[in-house]
Amino acid sequence: MKSNASTSLTQILGLDLPLIQGPFGGGLSTVELTATVANNGGLGSFGAHNLEGDGVAQVIASIKSQTDRAFAVNLWVGDHDKGGDDMSLATFERAWKFYEPYFREFGLEQPEPPQHYHPKFESQIDALIEARPHAFSFVFGIPSAAILEKCLKSDILTIGAATTPAEVEALDSAGVDAIVASGFEAGGHRTSFLNRAEDSLMGTAVLVRLASTKTNKPIIAAGGIADAAGIRSALSAGAQAAQLGTAFIACKESGTADIHRDVLFSDRVANTVLTRSYTGRLARGIPNRVIAEFDKRAAELPPFPIHGWFIGKLKAAAMAANIEDFVSLYAGQAAPLLRHSTASDLIAAIRDEL
């Protein structure tokens, strides 16, 4: 059943609602969540930046087996920060000395140096285009003109993410099909690519309004939106759809840990902060031990994705022990509005209220 809030973007994608599920990387996305959102009339999304090319293809095939409706797969165009592609043994050993006490605390031995700290975008995008999801969303940059052309020829809608009006203009000039205007209220990573994330902090409402003056492409509002009231505000500001992240990561269908969900429904969500301690890139989350100890040593952290690779192993150990010390407690500023623990209930409430 379609809502009354139909827009050109919902019509292009065949959506019942102007609702997009934010993509979660690092294993937090699931096929179940993506398909559930799609089957309930929104645009389901799967964050696949941590997967190799064959993994991207397998995920797309799995989602297609569970829904015949539109969904998006998200990749990170910029797969490393300056120095983050240094695969030398000396760099690995320097990093290990920083993390060793924490590894020992969990009874973990020194890991073997990896072949790479993060999959390469170039190998991922080839697999994505061949598998042909309905939409390809991306962050931390703009794919080449050749890649965007391949998507066009494969009938894959392209959705880029901007954190500033200048990034909106850059995406518009590149010819993407739709643009996510991501305000600093959003949980998860700040996906800036023209300037430092710390220098690209703009609120969602202002960014959406300014974006609508910079481009005729559909704008998707993201950041500080957790319910139908937030979606209505975004549409009133000029957006064609709203992207909800924290509200969906709190649902049981997401791939996060129960300890993360428990925190999202607690009073602690009243305080979120921006930090580089989770992965090495700026992100919004709820303070915990990793932020308390690593923020004050920020100058010592290796760049993304090296820090993210090491912290990922500590995160896995913490989750296995059911403690939150090194878990990335991503949360946006609208988290106090969370009410629903399943994606179906969340979407049903949004549909009713819209």
Q: Which phi and psi (to 5°) does residue 136 adopt? A: -120, 110
pLDDT of residue 102: 97
pLDDT (average), residues 284-299: 96
Q: Identify the CA nearest to 332 among candidates 161, 182, 208.
A: 182
Give the confidence band of 3 by pLDDT, cuts at 50, 70, 90. Answer: low
Q: Give the span between the Cα atoms of 188 and 158, in whole angstroms.
A: 21
Is residue 74 over pLDDT 90? yes
pLDDT of residue 18: 98
Q: Domain extents for the chain? A: 1-79+117-256+339-354, 81-116+272-329
Q: Which phi and psi (to 5°) does residue 154 adopt? A: -95, 10
Express the helix, strand and coil content of the chain in percent, nearest 5 each.
Answer: 45, 15, 45
pLDDT (average), residues 321-334: 95
pLDDT (average), residues 323-334: 96
pLDDT of residue 5: 74
pLDDT digits (tens, 9 = 90+) for 147-174: 999 999 999 999 999 999 999 999 999 9
Q: Which phi and psi (to 5°) does residue 25 adopt? A: -90, -175
Q: Which phi and psi (to 5°) does residue 226 adopt? A: -135, 0
Query: What is each CA distance from 231 to 1, 273, 353, in whole angstroms?
Result: 18, 23, 10
- What is 1-79+117-256+339-354's CATH superfamily? Aldolase class I (3.20.20.70)
**pLDDT above 90: percentage of residues in the chain:** 97
CA dihedral 276, 279, 283, 287 (to 10 degrees): -70
pLDDT of residue 26: 87
pLDDT (average), residues 310-339: 95
pLDDT digits (tens, 9 = 90+) for 76-109: 999 999 999 999 999 999 999 999 999 999 999 9
Instruction: Report the amino acid identity of residue 277.
Output: S
Give the confidence band of 9 by pLDDT, cuts at 50, 70, 90. Answer: very high
103 C-beta neighbours (distance < 10 Å), count: 17
Is residue 4 over pLDDT 70? no
Return mean pLDDT, the chain.
96
Give the confidence band of 1 by pLDDT, cuts at 50, 70, 90. Answer: low
Query: What is each CA distance from 283 to 17, 126, 130, 183, 261, in whole angstroms?
Result: 28, 28, 31, 12, 18
Give the confidence band of 6 by pLDDT, cuts at 50, 70, 90. Answer: confident
pLDDT digits (tens, 9 = 90+) for 117-155: 999 999 999 999 999 999 999 999 999 999 999 999 999
Asked whether the CA dihedral 320, 325, 330, 335 is positive or negative, the reply is: positive
Cβ(330)–Cβ(259) under 8 Å?
Answer: no
DSSP state of 284: E
Q: Give the span between the Cα atoms of 160 and 143, in whole angstroms.
A: 9
pTM of the model: 0.96
Q: Give the span between the Cα atoms of 162 and 140, in whole angstroms.
A: 9
Contacts of 329 (CB under 8 A, 6+ apart): 260, 263, 264, 285, 286, 287, 288
Is residue 192 over pLDDT 80? yes
pLDDT digits (tens, 9 = 90+) for 265-285: 999 999 999 999 999 999 999
